Amino acid sequence: MGPENTAEKGKVAGTWGIIWETVRYALVAALIIIPIRTFIAQPFVVSGNSMYPTFHNGEYLIVNELAKYQDTYERGDVVILRYPVDPSKYFIKRVIGLPEETVTITNGEVSITGPARTSPLILSEPYVKNPKRDNLSRVLADGEYFVMGDNRAQSSDSRVWGPVTEDFMDGKAFLRLFPFTAINLYPGSLATFGIVEE
């Protein structure tokens, strides 16, 4: 075997070594990233103004998908959910009513009653800057949530298409990444408005 053949085999082995290392790193990255994207965190881009001014059109969020496995949705949580009428569409809304409660809206003011309440809870909603003077009442079944957009006058939500069940809810807003001037954890949480959760 001459020196040229040895050099040629060395080049081939080197090329296959580079290819194998690239494939190996890609596989490791996929094994790490795919489960995280599937079960833990997903990106979400806000579309529309139903949560204005809390969220603006085009903002980039990271969604905590673990919430849908932990059964931890609470009043005031900002959630990403699939539209019950067309599950291929995703909405961002705020949880207002919890399972087995009654949500009553009187001239736009929201009150909550239910088996665990001796008196109605009147919601303090400083995040609502564009109210709508609705009137309705809805009793929620076990596993149902009443969700609304913060921009009440321009939001299609449970007032229009009814409550949503847990299987339509895909997680909570965890991190606002864009715009860079508004980066924060738990964007839109009640704590950011000085509201102590009940």
> What's the rounded Cα separation, in Å, for the pair 187 and 176?
6
* Residue 11 bears catalytic tag: no
> What's the rounded Cα separation, in Å, for the pair 45 and 7?
53
Q: Which of 9, 11, 47, 50 is catalytic?
A: 50
Q: Is residue 20 left, alpha or beta, with left meaning phi > 0 and alpha meaning psi from -120 to 50?
A: alpha
DSSP-based three-state secondary structure for 60? strand
Quick one: how far is CA 9 from the chain centroid? 54
Q: Which of 93, 155, 172, 189 is catalytic?
A: 93
* Residue 132 bears catalytic tag: no
Quick one: how far is CA 96 from the chain centroid? 15
Alpha helices in 109-194 (DSSP H): 158-161
H/E stretch holding 165 reads strand 164-165
| Enzyme catalytic residues | 50, 93
